[in-house]
């Protein structure tokens, strides 16, 4: 008899899990609460008709570099990555910008006196990306398959971003590294924040920081189409309040965070496991803006037009101050802003000649503060006249984000803080397994954590299959 599995939630991790299970020959049903699948990988007309905005994620270094996604025929289902000439630009107060070039050689030249140090830091992992990605996008193994490579990574991984950045001689490179490390939602003086900087820098050279043609939804569409081709069924507008409302399945995989798992699995979990779920810690949230623009953003530093992603926050110290405020439960006056300008490289995102922009800053979890003015001040600082280009804008506060994707608890986009305490045992030392033998958790609250790579779903499904026997 064919075994049956269900997946609750169709984010990239839920879909990855569903695909692994369907490829293993199981009959798989996916239940998704929202009308459109994809979770934080969806696109919508959030401002004006014809302007397509990515609701959540927008740029996919780990999507392009994911060992699992790379094994799927997603291009046959319409996925096409677009690479901007440079992965990321970082404008500075003096009207110039430091640009991280895709090629490591070019990056080394453009970073001048720091070029050699940059190469020393990232080259081993860029050259062995496949091996490196397989190790870091997985639970920490007792014995790594590539011990020398991982020992080299480990030497840097536990340092703070500050420690690594201060190896560089110029303010420009230190600022660039601060912007990369600030993706961690950690203080730049915290251990592990340096590892996040590396995890952003290495794929920039190894696989790029691409955007999907047609928006984030194209990635979800390709995953859904491939899943359907394997015989899987996706049920949208089906919010699961309790696993008990579902028919019997051999396996239940939940693309939800610990608090939601507690709610839907009820009496199936042991009290000690429930206690661990209750003590799981969520991280800071984001406040996000989407813009429909009359014209491209008028950057002071023209180089910013070469990159889909632009980091706004000035030098290392300013970004460090912004992230320390957020970690201390405050709102930075001059927040670090991550901005994406996809329509410069993908005309399908806006009517002819018009543009879109996506920008967010970090805020304390469940913050109610409106950060629109502070985000726009930060953009204006590096692109005077930006506000005059805006045709329409839409704000997504932490609570609105959570109302559109229940996993974004308090606006936390990583499924729980990824600090030193919650890094290795995520959400518990069992990782994907729970105390119920056929219930598994497969969201970004499991290793390797936040980001669109599908590797949480992949590893969870492999673990679940290993329990089936026969």
Ligand X SMILES: Cc1cc2nc3c(=O)[nH]c(=O)nc-3n(C[C@H](O)[C@H](O)[C@H](O)COP(=O)(O)OP(=O)(O)OC[C@H]3O[C@@H](n4cnc5c(N)ncnc54)[C@H](O)[C@@H]3O)c2cc1C
In the bound state with ligand X, the residue whose beta carbon lies nearer, of 111 and 176, is 176
Please select the residue that binds ligand X; options are 5, 6, 7, 9, rule is CB under 6 A: 9
Cis peptide before 11 (omega within 30 of 0): no
Helix 129-136 and helix 115-127, axial crossing angle in degrees, nearest 10? 80
In the bound state with ligand X, the residue whose beta carbon lies nearer, of 354 and 453, is 453
Site residues (CB under 6 A) for ligand X, limited to 344-373: 360
What sign does the CA torsion over 143, 146, 148, 153 have? negative
Site string for ligand X, 240-259 (x = CB under 6 A): x--------------xx---
Considering the rule CB under 6 A, would residue 232 count as an interface residue with ligand X?
no
Please select the residue that binds ligand X; options are 51, 52, 60, 104, rule is CB under 6 A: 60
Considering the rule CB under 6 A, would residue 405 count as an interface residue with ligand X?
yes
In the bound state with ligand X, the residue whose beta carbon lies nearer, of 9 and 87, is 9
Distance in angstroms (rounded) separating the CA atoms of residues 237 and 250: 23
In the bound state with ligand X, the residue whose beta carbon lies nearer, of 9 and 427, is 9
Q: Is 368 helix (H, G, I), strand (E, B) or coil?
A: coil
Could you give the angle at the alpha carbon of 58 between the alpha carbons of 355 and 336, nearest 5°?
90
Tally helices (H) and strands (E) across the chain: 19, 16
User: Which two three-digit tokens encode residue 23?
Assistant: 């490829």
**Chain Cα centroid distance, residue 6:** 24
User: Which two three-digit tokens encode residue 177?
Assistant: 């590294």
Distance in angstroms (rounded) separating the CA atoms of residues 1 and 363: 50
Given a contact cutoff of 8 angstroms between Cβ atoms, the answer to whether 445 and 427 are in contact is yes
Scored b (16 or more CB within 10 A) or e, 167-180 reads: bbeebbbbbbbbbb
Residue 259: CB atoms within 10 Å: 16
Considering the rule CB under 6 A, would residue 406 count as an interface residue with ligand X?
yes
Site residues (CB under 6 A) for ligand X, limited to 265-294: 286, 288
Q: Which range of residues in 37-45, 104-112, 269-277, 426-434 is near ligand X by CB under 6 A?
A: 37-45
Considering the rule CB under 6 A, would residue 408 count as an interface residue with ligand X?
yes
Considering the rule CB under 6 A, would residue 461 count as an interface residue with ligand X?
no
In the bound state with ligand X, the residue whose beta carbon lies nearer, of 160 and 443, is 443
Nearest to 134 by CA among 419, 462, 414: 462
In the bound state with ligand X, the residue whose beta carbon lies nearer, of 174 and 463, is 463
Considering the rule CB under 6 A, would residue 34 count as an interface residue with ligand X?
yes
Minimum gap (Å) between residue 400 Cβ and ligand X: 11
Considering the rule CB under 6 A, would residue 56 count as an interface residue with ligand X?
yes
Please select the residue that binds ligand X; options are 10, 193, 343, 438, rule is CB under 6 A: 10
Q: Which range of residues in 5-13, 153-161, 291-299, 347-355 is near ligand X by CB under 6 A?
A: 5-13
Please select the residue that binds ligand X; options are 8, 18, 204, 363, rule is CB under 6 A: 8
Phi, psi of 260 (to 5 degrees): -70, -40
Judged by the rule CB under 6 A, the positions of this chain that interact with ligand X are: 8-14, 31-34, 39-41, 56-60, 62, 239-240, 255-256, 260, 264, 286, 288, 360, 401, 405-408, 413-415, 443-444, 450-452, 456
């Amino acid at each position: 008899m064919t075994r049956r599995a269900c997946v609750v939630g169709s984010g990239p991790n839920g879909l990855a899990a569903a695909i692994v299970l369907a490829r293993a020959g199981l009959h798989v049903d996916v239940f998704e609460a929202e009308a459109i699948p994809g979770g934080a990988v969806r696109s919508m007309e959030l401002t004006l008709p014809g302007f397509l905005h990515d609701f959540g994620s927008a740029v996919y270094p780990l999507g392009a570099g994911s060992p699992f996604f790379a094994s799927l025929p997603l291009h046959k289902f319409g996925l096409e990555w677009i690479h901007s000439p440079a992965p990321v630009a970082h404008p500075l107060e003096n009207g110039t910008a430091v640009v991280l070039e895709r090629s490591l050689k070019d990056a080394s030249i453009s970073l001048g006196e720091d070029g050699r140090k940059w190469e020393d830091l990232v080259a081993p992992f860029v050259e062995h990306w496949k091996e490196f990605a397989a190790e870091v996008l997985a639970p920490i193994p007792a014995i790594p398959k590539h011990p020398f490579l991982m020992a080299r990574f480990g030497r840097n991984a536990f340092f703070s971003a500050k420690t690594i950045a201060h190896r560089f001689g110029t303010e420009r490179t230190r600022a660039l590294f601060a912007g990369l490390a600030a993706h961690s939602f950690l203080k730049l003086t915290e251990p592990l924040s340096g590892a996040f900087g590396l995890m952003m820098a290495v794929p920039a050279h190894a696989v790029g920081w691409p955007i999907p043609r047609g928006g984030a939804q194209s990635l979800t569409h390709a995953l859904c189409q491939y899943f359907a081709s394997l015989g899987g069924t996706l049920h949208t507008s089906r919010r699961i309040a309790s696993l008990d409302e579902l028919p019997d399945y051999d396996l239940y995989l939940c693309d939800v965070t610990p608090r939601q798992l507690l709610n839907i699995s009820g009496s199936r979990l042991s009290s000690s496991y429930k206690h661990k779920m209750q003590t799981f810690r969520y991280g800071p949230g984001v406040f996000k803006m989407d813009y429909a623009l009359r014209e491209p953003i008028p950057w002071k530093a023209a180089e910013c037009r070469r990159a889909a992603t632009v980091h706004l926050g000035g030098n290392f110290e300013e970004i460090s101050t912004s992230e320390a405020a957020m970690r201390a439960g405050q709102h930075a006056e001059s927040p670090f802003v991550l901005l994406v300008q996809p329509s410069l490289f993908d005309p399908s995102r806006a009517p002819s000649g018009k543009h879109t922009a996506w920008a967010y800053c970090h805020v304390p979890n469940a913050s109610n503060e409106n950060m629109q003015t502070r985000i726009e001040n930060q953009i204006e600082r590096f692109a005077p006249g930006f506000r005059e280009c805006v045709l329409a804008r839409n704000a997504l506060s932490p609570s609105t984000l959570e109302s559109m994707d229940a996993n974004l608890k308090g606006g936390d986009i990583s499924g729980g803080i990824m600090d030193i305490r919650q890094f290795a045992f995520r959400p518990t030392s069992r990782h994907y397994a729970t105390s119920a033998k056929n219930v598994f958790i497969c969201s970004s609250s499991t290793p390797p954590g936040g980001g669109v790579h599908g590797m949480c779903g992949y590893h969870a499904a492999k673990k679940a299959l290993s329990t089936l026997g026969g």
